[in-house]
Chains A and B, each alone.
Chain A
């Protein structure tokens, strides 16, 4: 009954999406205000129905209804309750349902909060959202229906893949999808603007908060996924340049570019055509990411789904949306007026450089991810493009980008003074240089590449601080006045500073972890000790324990530093009977931003257990950086300009005039 209700709600949501994709367009053509409002109503109702469908699937998981194929294949009655909830999206069908639910959520949010949009623009935006929704409802109903029943219901389910039974999974896909799908709003705005042939600074002001929301979630989603891989996969890697990771990195890169070009458009009315193209590209890359992961065309660490009919269906959706929107762009973009002249050395110029570097980085990831596929398709040759390729190509680009950040923020709009900016960055540069020398001296004998990169990162952090100091005229005015100025600064300024500093902080973590990571691999018996960096790990005992749906082997270590005990660590290895598979649960001990990481391997014939222990210096900065970036985004989003400054609806203005 619950399954049928969910199925029915999903079909109704499709029907509403179809109305939503046609009615507003017709309304805009015939200029019928009442009909335009149908878009708003259907968007809200569509979200209600898809939420019912999602709730139904969740209910089926919670009560372990194994007469539903999806639940049977991905759940188990003994699975802990929290994983019954999160298991809903731990499989192909459920995660697609989550995808459309989030899409409908964004549609409903535009409908709810888009009151200050011109009526026709809102109608068109919602219509485009309707198109995307309809395509994905069709995809789910025809190829990935989560509500199908089994004729002879089995007694027990097959359980969720153990690797996915983790709190990380609870957060990673929803965050990622909120990011991916959030970019659909920018896409719909871009397509609507192209249809209308009208694009002004107000448009950028509406698009920016939506892009920012998506970007915040995508940043958090990627960071979360990376941390999850770090502690779950058992070898301490946090980024593998895996195609699925690349699929999420590409929209992040172009989304970051979009965020910056939208600023230029909002403030200076320039880069309009480019901003529209970026909005289209960013969501196209999100769709591509969904396609890559869901179609199984790239089989990789994350791929749960492999089915050709699905692949072809998503490919069609992809072609229709990407091809269609780009064709529309080619047709309509020339009619959009270019505005806002600026000198090459200016804030706009710096943001253009930022866009160039981010787009190139994105193109690099794109070609590296898809080239092996294309080559195999056309020539039959198989090649691999892995981490060494990306480190060599993407790395330098990103370091270059890093270097330009502090200069960009110090340049004035329209025409900037590069020399002046360089002078103001003198202090930051000097401290960065001293840092490089200090790191070289401390790590004697190591390469210079790592210290220099750390120097760049320090430069970015201090550059961000310099910009803030300049703004409040720190040390130039009495401290009290400076503080008063700081209070008066818009929150988006703090947001920018934090986000840029986060970039530098993440960079420090990345360099330190990859360069000075120390590792100890050994077969150990109780009483044995292992030296990891400046710490010593002593294996105290080995034991076994029964969990809710697994058996685990535990090893307890005592960690010593200079002979003093500083803590115990208990890594384990879990065996899940239902799937006949196992996971390693690494033990982590944080010392400041550094971590000790221990994971277990097999037990040898002589009773010794294989142990992999690491000291990872400053590794936590890798995720603290993105957190800070996301927080910066949040601050920026809360800036009153984004809410209050948004242009008032024309209707209200007219009413005001009438009252006079």
Chain B
């Protein structure tokens, strides 16, 4: 336990963004299309000694090595997928900022849609239950008591006639 926390401390100290530049001019590939691919890929690859920084954002030396590696693979004609697979084979799934969809990440990927669908279903069922309840109880509020009827009549008699046109309409916010 203590060792793990020590490791965390070291990680914090090392990875504090010592705000410098990430991609260096000498790394940029001559072919703009390939460079654009490298940049897009870099944004999905984690700098493993940093917290939650992609190699595109990080200025750690490991990030630079990985950026150069990505560019090397691209220059050799690898597809994006091949580059990713190559990195995963070397460093494990930890290197991907977008985790792959597999048994371990099933819940991660499925939870958001499940919450949405489950929530919608629950609402729908509850709505139906309440409608049915309303139907059973006669689909209308309980009738007014004679006393309430009298009050209503008195109120209506007192109230001035509604003004013609839309302006006098009572708008409820």
Contact = CB atoms under 8 A, between A and B. Distances in A.
B16 A161 contact: yes
Nearest to A489: B173
Contact of A397 (B43, B108, B112): B112
Interface string A372-414: 0001000101111111110011000100000000000000010
Contact of A234 (B9, B21, B105, B123): B21
Interface of B: 1-2, 5, 8-9, 11-12, 15-26, 28, 43-44, 46, 51-54, 57, 92-99, 104-105, 107-109, 111-112, 115-116, 119-120, 123, 127, 130, 134, 166-167, 171-173
Interface stretch (A28-36, A112-120, A362-370): A362-370
A558 interface: no
A258 to B, nearest CB: 16
B167 A477 contact: yes
Contacts of A161: 16
Interface residue SS majority, chain A: mixed
Interface in A294-322: 296, 298-301, 303-304, 306-308, 311
Nearest to A522: B25
A574 B104 CA distance: 44
A363 B51 CA distance: 22
Given A306-B12, A388-B43, A522-B25, A234 B19 contact: yes
Contacts of A384: 46, 52, 93-97, 99
Interface of A: 161, 163, 232-235, 237, 240-243, 267, 296, 298-301, 303-304, 306-308, 311, 341, 344, 352, 356-357, 359-360, 363-364, 367-368, 371, 375, 379, 381-389, 392-393, 397, 413, 471, 473, 477, 481, 490, 492-493, 521-523, 573, 581-584, 599-602, 610, 612
Contact of A382 (B9, B25, B94): B94
Given A299-B15, A385-B108, 18 more contacts: A161-B16, A163-B16, A232-B19, A233-B19, A234-B19, A240-B57, A300-B51, A301-B17, A308-B1, A359-B119, A363-B111, A384-B93, A388-B98, A389-B97, A397-B116, A413-B172, A471-B171, A522-B25
Point out which of A240, A341, A360, A477 has the most chain B C-beta atoms below 10 A from its C-beta. A360
Point out which of B19, B127, B173 has the most chain A C-beta atoms below 10 A from its C-beta. B19
A299 B12 contact: yes
Contacts of B2: 308
Contact of B43 (A387, A523, A610): A387
Nearest to A602: B20
A364 B53 CA distance: 20
B56 to A, nearest CB: 9
A386 B97 contact: yes
Contacts of B43: 387-388
Task: Return the 6 tightest CB-CB contacts between A and B, nearest first.
Answer: A386-B97, A601-B21, A388-B98, A234-B19, A300-B51, A584-B19
Point out which of B17, B26, B105, B167 has the most chain A C-beta atoms below 10 A from its C-beta. B17
Given A308-B5, A383-B94, A582-B19, A299 B99 contact: no
Nearest to A492: B173
B46 A344 contact: no
Nearest to B124: A344
Contacts of A583: 19
A499 to B, nearest CB: 15
Contacts of B28: 521
A581 B14 CA distance: 11
A505 to B, nearest CB: 24
